[in-house]
Amino acid sequence: TGYLKKEIAQLFGMNDHVMVVAGGGDNAAGAIGTGIVKSGLVSASIGTSGVVFAFSDEVKIDMKGRVHTFCHAVPGKWHVMGVMLAAGGSFRWLRDVLGMEEKNLAALLDKDAYEILTEEAGQVEPGGEGLIFLPYLTGERTPHADPYARGVFFGLTLKHRKNEMVRAVMEGVTFGMRDSFEIIREMGIPIEEVMAIGGGAKSKLWRKIQADIYQVPLYQVRIDEGPAFGAALLAAVGEGIFPNVEQACQRAVKVMDKVNPDFQKGVRYNEIYQIYKDLYPALKPFYKRISDILW
């Protein structure tokens, strides 16, 4: 977009040929850093929150306001984004409340408590013995936009153990992410490949759960700081190191692992997901009532 003014460059001890390049918002820059620059590509980020980010060649708007449409950091392109509020945050809550044993063991073994918890969850079959978790621990954004929504373990019985609760949280968060996938598909935006990023992508089990629930091939991207990397790629394009954003991503963005979806597990997960979706409207009247009592 231009060059730094000479007086500003001198003020900071820089030369007078520093280019200023337009960047993007954190999620748009992060999408550049993970290669979401063409139709069919979607990123799924499980950090404290959960973000599903889809590339679009044209403006697509959900008139119900469940997802958000913005201009992309790729010139002339757009993106649609769904956000759930407590993705990895739900897993952190579980670790802090029920994972003290795992935290102590992790300290002894020089491991991460999350790693131990996911190993326990890996012993459980998909569906967690009928246990479903609604991840609305801080209200919800996509698809419900409801500050009163609250978390729920549905189907809990005396036979359930902690490892099934861990698996239910991982699956419940992924069902929440799938809500965004379903809306994006409704909008006519193709989803052919998913790039998994964030803390949740570091777990092999969680990557597999995501692939089976989304029923789309899923890749782990070899980058920890997607937005910063994306901003660096935009700067490189501005400096002429790469001719355009697409070629910059093709050259620089690397994937570490591919997970193909299991169709049979997808059938089972789809049945559970239908129950998951029906639970929110069934419980919605009670969320506000309990809030009124507390406040």
pLDDT at residue 1, as a whole number: 73
pLDDT digits (tens, 9 = 90+) for 188-212: 999 999 999 989 999 999 999 999 9
Spell out a b/e string for 221-235, using b for 16 or more CB atoms within 10 Å of the CB, else e: bebeebbebbbbbbb
- Kindly tell me if the per-residue pLDDT of 224 is higher than 80: no
Non-local CB neighbours of 63 within 8 Å, separated by 6+ positions:
none
Q: Which CATH architecture has domain 25-226+253-294?
A: 2-Layer Sandwich (3.30)
- Under the banding of pLDDT at 50, 70 and 90, the label for residue 24 is confident
Instruction: State the catalytic residues.
Output: 26
pLDDT digits (tens, 9 = 90+) for 113-156: 999 999 999 999 999 899 999 999 999 999 999 999 999 999 99
pLDDT digits (tens, 9 = 90+) for 172-192: 999 999 999 999 999 999 999
This prediction's pTM: 0.93
- Kindly tell me if the per-residue pLDDT of 168 is higher than 90: yes
Non-local CB neighbours of 30 within 8 Å, separated by 6+ positions:
43, 45, 53, 197, 226, 227, 230
pLDDT digits (tens, 9 = 90+) for 230-254: 999 999 999 999 999 999 999 999 9
Q: Residue 42 phi/psi, 5° resolution?
A: -140, 145
Angle at 127 between CA 148 and CA 159, to 5 degrees: 90
pLDDT at residue 247, as a whole number: 95
Q: What secondary structure letter does DSSP report for 11?
A: H
pLDDT at residue 40, as a whole number: 97
pLDDT digits (tens, 9 = 90+) for 266-281: 999 999 999 999 999 9
Tell me if 126 sits within 8 A of 269, measured CB to CB: yes
- Kindly tell me if the per-residue pLDDT of 295 is higher than 80: no
pLDDT at residue 26, as a whole number: 85
Rounded-to-integer distance, Cα 181 and Cα 189, Å: 10
pLDDT digits (tens, 9 = 90+) for 31-82: 999 999 999 999 999 999 999 999 999 999 999 999 999 999 999 999 999 9
